[in-house]
Every structure is written in structure tokens, then in C-alpha cells.
């Protein structure tokens, strides 16, 4: 039996029953990484020694029956955007290539406290800016289902590693779809929690009012297990929600009889791939057979979401990335020609083209004479998008849409056309602008064998409802059980 293909629940049960040791399990994953990562390129850093030390400690905890959780001894990996004490954190950028943080992000600390084993750090689009993983400064991650295709982005390494069984689960970040879109492309489950549900402390910032961490897993229950650990208030994060954290696995199998699912007409439009459309509509029928009722709804300001996002997100990126100046930490290119020249050279050589593009867009929209016309107006329309969801949720419990308008596209296909690349996230961006939770789960495959993702959205802090519906669908199908032949 290939233990690297088991779910977190299955692995946790075997660990607690003594059928497996965390050390043996971790060694199996490390061997798997050695065997397949040369084809997939999901990992930037593999922390072999640290992982085996953590596994040994997990074995001790399990043996003593002390502080054992569902994640104790489970090998997971992290998008390389979370600060990890003593382990480099690069954000897939040359400007942070040699940066080793002195502390753990809150997400990382909570995982370690739960006894999880950290296998390493995963590739991503530089500073989480991209939809294909082709913007990494180091190398491109490939899709395990077809290595000629992208894995999605920006958490492409996180999705690909789970799909290729290189970790039991991973944690990524989602600013405009960066968990859900790669989950769709790689045929795994990706959950973006409510904004503020998971601490952003120690998570390198891209767009502070949009960024949110969440799990990528093999199945819905595993996503709930990981969310149980990483969710919760953090006094160190001013945007963290101070609200009780339920057990997200509790009631996950209660079904959805009587639940109303909204179908927004704005998400089933021209440009949606025919195979994606058919798979998502078939998923609707599965949920209706499970007892749900579908209702037609409208989200009228959806057409402005891309424009709003690329003003708000780039403005915040311009502000957040100003700290990378060669003075305090990270890359410093100093050729002795003065402070201003040092700033210019450091940022020119440290940032890639997509990051530079977004910094310039954001700086422009915030500049004198343009702020009111662009950033302020975008913020106002963002409020209208949020109100669209508030109105929709008066008549439904969930909203169902495709995750992405297409399955994974070919490597290089959109690199010369930024606008087409940006449209990859057209169905996921509104969720971030409104701050609501969303999940992507597999709902079929194209004729070419590429996964298709179904997206479900719910009211703020109603992740339990989201997980119940996703679990119900998952139990009625077997898409999540399929594995790529890597």
C-alpha cells in the first residue's frame, strides 16, 4: 500500500493505532519527493533534517498520548510565503532569496503546536502575483496531470505537491483565487476562509485587505481538519476576527437537504469552456439529488471585479513592497554610487517583471491627481460587489460557480498577454473583494484528462455550511479519488 496516497484522517488513525510511525511516514514522503519532484518542481526548499526531528517528537507525543491532534505526525508543506524560523522564506523572489526569518508565522506555529511535520517550502508566483506559477524567480512548477500545462497560481506549488502525493496537505494563500484556481487546475480541494479567520501574522503581504491563508488537501474532510488548527483569533494581527472557532469536522456529514444554492447568471457566460460548463451543471444536478434546491440569483457588479481587483491589489502591493529597499533585509545591490542608486539597482534586480508591473500600476493609481479617479472609485465599487453577495445570501445559503473558466492551460500560453492571464481569476476574485469564504473541489475532467473545479461560496464565517455541501458532493462522486500518474 502506498501510504503517501492516504488522507489525513486515514494516516492519523494509523498513527494513533500504532500501525504507522510518523518517522516512517515522513521518510516515505521524503522518498516520494526525491522520486517525483524532479518532474514537478513543487519544492523550493526541502527541510529533511528538521522534518525527521519533528516526526520523532510526534512519535513521542503519540506514544505518551500527550497533546495528540488529528495533525500530530502528519507531513505537510507550506507555500514559501510563510515565515519559518531558521528556514529560508523566499516568496519565490530574488530579493528574498537568502532571507531566513527569526520567527514562525502564526499559521506555522499553530501547525507545529499541533504536532504537524513540516516537509518544506513550496514554489509560487513571485510575491503571490500570478495565476500560473510561471512568475517564480527560480523555476516553473508543472501540473502533475500534464507536465506541459501550468498548475495554476499563485499557490501552484502547493496544489501540485498535494496532487502528486508529495505531502499529505499544504497551506497556501489566496488574494484573488490563489488557492482555489490552482486547486481546480490540479484536481485537489482548496479552501479560502473568511477574511480574518486565519492570522496573517508572518505571512508576507501582497494585498493586505485581500490576502488569506487556507488549506489545499486531497479531500474536504482533510481541509476541515487543517482549518481546525490554523483558524482563530490572533492578537498580533489587527485584521484577525475575534470569534469562536467551531470544530469544522463536526456535522460535516449531515447532508444538505433543504439547503438553497444560488446560481449566478453572470458566472455562466460566453468564454466559459464548454466542458467546464457541462461538468459544473452536472454537479448542480448531483447537489439537487442530495436534497438541495437551486435558485437563480444575480451578482450585477461582477463585470467590474477584475478592474476593481487590479486597482486595489496593486495599490496595496505598491505600499507593501516598498519595504524591500536593500537596507533592512533581503537583497542589497550596492555599487557605491549613492543611496538612490542602491534602491534602484536592488529593486530592479530583485523583482521580476510581473511584480514590477503591479508595483507601477499601484503606484500610478495612488499618485496625486489619480487617487480619486482610480483607487477611491475602485474601493467604492468593491462595496457594491460586497452588497451584491449580501443581497444574494438573503435568498440562498450557498452560491455555486465554476472555479475557473478553463482547465489548466499550456505553459507559456498566456505569458505575453497579461490581460488574458488576469482573466484566469475572473470567477474567484469577487470572493476576496467581499471577504467571504470559498472552496474549490474536483467535479470532472476534460476530454484531455485535465481536472475541472467546482466553486462554492458562503456567508462570512459559515465555513461549516460550505464544508457540509462540499463533503456531500464529494461523497456522491469519485473525482477526488483519482490520482495523476507521475
Cell reading at 231: 483558524
What is the rounded (10 degree) CA torsion for 284, 287, 288, 292?
A: -120
The confidence score (pLDDT) of residue 381 equals 98
Q: How far apart are CA 155 and CA 165, in angstroms?
A: 16
Q: How far apart are CA 194 and CA 211, in angstroms?
A: 10
Torsion-angle region of residue 130: left (phi > 0), alpha (psi -120 to 50) or beta? Answer: left
The confidence score (pLDDT) of residue 202 equals 98
Tens digit of each residue's pLDDT (9 = 90 or more) over 191-248? 999 999 999 999 999 999 999 999 999 999 999 999 999 999 999 999 999 999 999 9
Tens digit of each residue's pLDDT (9 = 90 or more) over 121-153? 999 999 999 999 999 999 999 999 999 999 999
The confidence score (pLDDT) of residue 337 equals 86
List, in sequence order, every beta strand (DSSP E) within 42-125: 43-46, 75-79, 117-122
Could you confirm whether 79 is annotated as catalytic?
Answer: yes
The residue-averaged pLDDT of 384-397 equals 98
Percent of the chain with pLDDT over 70: 100
The active-site residue out of 47, 79, 136, 424 is 79
Strands 169-174 and 212-217, by their bridges, are antiparallel
Confidence of residue 380 (pLDDT cuts 50, 70, 90): very high
Residues facing 217 on adjacent strands: 189
**First and final CA of the chain: distance in angstroms?**
17
pLDDT at position 348 over 90: yes
Cell reading at 478: 469519485
The confidence score (pLDDT) of residue 335 equals 85
The confidence score (pLDDT) of residue 165 equals 98
The active-site residue out of 154, 318, 365, 424 is 154
Tens digit of each residue's pLDDT (9 = 90 or more) over 172-206? 999 999 999 999 999 999 999 999 999 999 999 99
The confidence score (pLDDT) of residue 417 equals 82
The confidence score (pLDDT) of residue 70 equals 98
Task: Calculate the average pLDDT of the chain.
Answer: 96
Residue 335 to residues 331, 343, 404: CA-CA distances in angstroms? 13, 11, 46
Could you confirm whether 170 is annotated as catalytic?
Answer: no
What is the rounded (10 degree) CA torsion for 123, 125, 130, 135?
A: -120
The residue-averaged pLDDT of 96-105 equals 97
At 466 the three-state DSSP class reads helix
The residue-averaged pLDDT of 405-417 equals 92
pLDDT at position 110 over 90: yes
The confidence score (pLDDT) of residue 424 equals 83
pLDDT at position 168 over 80: yes
The confidence score (pLDDT) of residue 316 equals 97
Q: What strand order describes the sheet that includes 451-458? A: 43-46, 117-122, 75-79, 169-174, 212-217, 189-192, 438-445, 451-458, 398-402, 260-264, 293-297
Tens digit of each residue's pLDDT (9 = 90 or more) over 253-299? 999 999 999 999 999 988 899 999 999 999 999 999 999 999 999 99
Could you confirm whether 178 is annotated as catalytic?
Answer: yes
The confidence score (pLDDT) of residue 421 equals 83
Confidence of residue 394 (pLDDT cuts 50, 70, 90): very high
* All domains of the chain in start order, with CATH: 3-248+440-451+464-479 (3.90.1300.10)
pLDDT at position 53 over 90: yes
Q: How far apart are CA 390 and CA 78, in angstroms?
A: 33
Cell reading at 73: 505526525
The active-site residue out of 21, 178, 424, 458 is 178
Tens digit of each residue's pLDDT (9 = 90 or more) over 413-442? 988 888 788 778 999 999 999 999 999 999
Question: How many other CB atoms sit within 10 Å of the CB of residue 401?
Answer: 26
pLDDT at position 104 over 80: yes
**Residue 403 carries which DSSP code?**
S
The residue-averaged pLDDT of 32-45 equals 98
The residue-averaged pLDDT of 358-384 equals 93
Confidence of residue 164 (pLDDT cuts 50, 70, 90): very high
Amino acid at each position: 500500500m502506498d501510504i503517501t496516497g492516504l488522507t489525513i484522517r486515514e494516516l492519523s488513525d494509523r498513527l494513533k493505532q500504532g500501525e504507522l510511525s510518523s518517522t516512517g511516514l515522513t521518510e516515505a514522503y521524503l522518498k516520494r519527493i526525491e522520486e517525483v519532484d524532479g518532474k514537478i518542481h513543487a519544492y523550493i526548499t526541502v527541510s529533511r533534517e528538521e522534518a525527521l526531528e519533528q516526526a520523532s517528537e510526534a512519535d513521542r507525543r503519540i506514544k505518551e498520548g500527550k497533546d495528540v491532534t488529528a495533525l500530530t505526525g502528519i507531513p505537510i508543506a507550506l507555500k514559501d510565503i510563510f515565515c519559518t524560523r531558521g528556514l529560508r522564506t523566499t516568496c519565490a523572489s530574488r530579493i528574498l532569496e537568502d532571507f531566513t526569518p527569526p520567527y514562525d508565522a502564526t499559521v506555522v506555529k499553530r501547525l507545529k503546536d499541533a504536532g504537524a511535520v513540516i516537509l518544506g517550502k513550496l514554489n509560487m508566483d513571485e510575491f503571490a502575483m500570478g495565476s500560473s506559477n510561471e512568475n517564480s524567480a527560480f523555476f516553473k512548477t508543472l501540473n502533475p496531470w500534464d507536465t506541459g500545462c501550468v498548475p495554476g497560481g499563485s499557490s501552484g506549488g502547493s496544489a501540485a505537491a498535494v496532487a502528486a502525493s508529495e505531502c499529505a496537505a499544504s497551506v497556501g494563500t489566496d488574494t484573488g483565487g490563489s488557492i482555489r484556481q490552482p486547486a481546480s487546475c490540479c484536481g485537489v480541494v482548496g479552501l479560502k476562509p473568511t477574511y480574518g479567520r486565519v492570522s496573517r501574522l508572518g505571512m508576507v503581504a501582497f494585498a493586505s485587505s485581500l490576502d488569506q491563508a487556507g488549506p489545499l488537501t486531497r479531500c474536504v474532510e482533510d481541509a476541515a481538519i487543517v482549518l481546525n488548527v490554523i483558524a482563530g483569533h490572533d492578537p498580533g494581527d489587527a485584521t484577525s476576527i475575534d470569534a469562536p472557532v467551531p470544530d469544522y469536522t463536526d456535522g460535516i456529514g449531515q447532508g444538505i437537504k433543504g439547503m438553497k444554492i444560488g446560481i449566478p447568471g453572470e458566472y455562466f457566460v460566453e468564454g466559459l469552456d464548454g466542458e467546464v460548463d457541462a461538468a459544473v451543471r452536472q454537479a448542480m444536478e448531483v447537489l439537487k439529488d442530495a436534497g438541495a434546491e437551486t435558485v437563480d440569483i444575480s451578482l450585477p457588479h461582477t463585470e467590474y471585479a477584475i478592474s476593481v481587483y487590479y486597482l486595489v491589489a496593486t495599490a496595496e502591493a505598491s505600499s507593501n513592497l516598498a519595504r524591500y529597499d536593500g537596507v533592512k533585509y533581503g537583497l542589497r545591490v550596492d555599487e557605491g554610487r549613492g543611496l538612490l542608486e542602491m534602491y534602484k539597482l536592488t529593486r530592479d534586480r530583485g523583482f521580476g517583471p510581473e511584480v514590477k508591473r503591479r508595483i507601477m500600476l499601484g503606484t500610478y493609481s495612488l499618485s496625486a491627481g489619480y487617487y480619486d479617479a482610480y483607487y477611491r472609485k475602485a474601493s467604492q465599487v468593491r462595496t457594491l460587489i460586497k452588497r451584491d453577495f449580501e443581497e444574494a445570501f438573503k435568498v440562498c445559503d450557498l452560491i455555486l460557480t465554476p472555479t475557473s473558466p478553463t482547465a489548466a492551460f499550456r505553459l507559456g500560453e498566456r505569458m505575453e498577454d497579461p490581460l488574458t492571464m488576469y482573466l484566469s481569476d475572473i470567477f474567484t476574485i469577487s470572493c476576496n473583494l467581499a471577504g467571504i469564504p470559498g472552496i474549490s473541489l474536483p467535479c470532472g475532467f476534460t476530454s484531455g484528462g485535465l481536472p475541472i473545479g467546482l466553486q462554492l461560496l458562503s456567508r462570512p464565517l459559515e465555513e461549516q455550511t460550505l464544508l457540509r455541501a462540499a463533503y456531500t458532493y464529494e461523497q456522491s462522486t469519485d473525482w477526488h479519488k483519482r490520482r495523476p500518474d507521475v
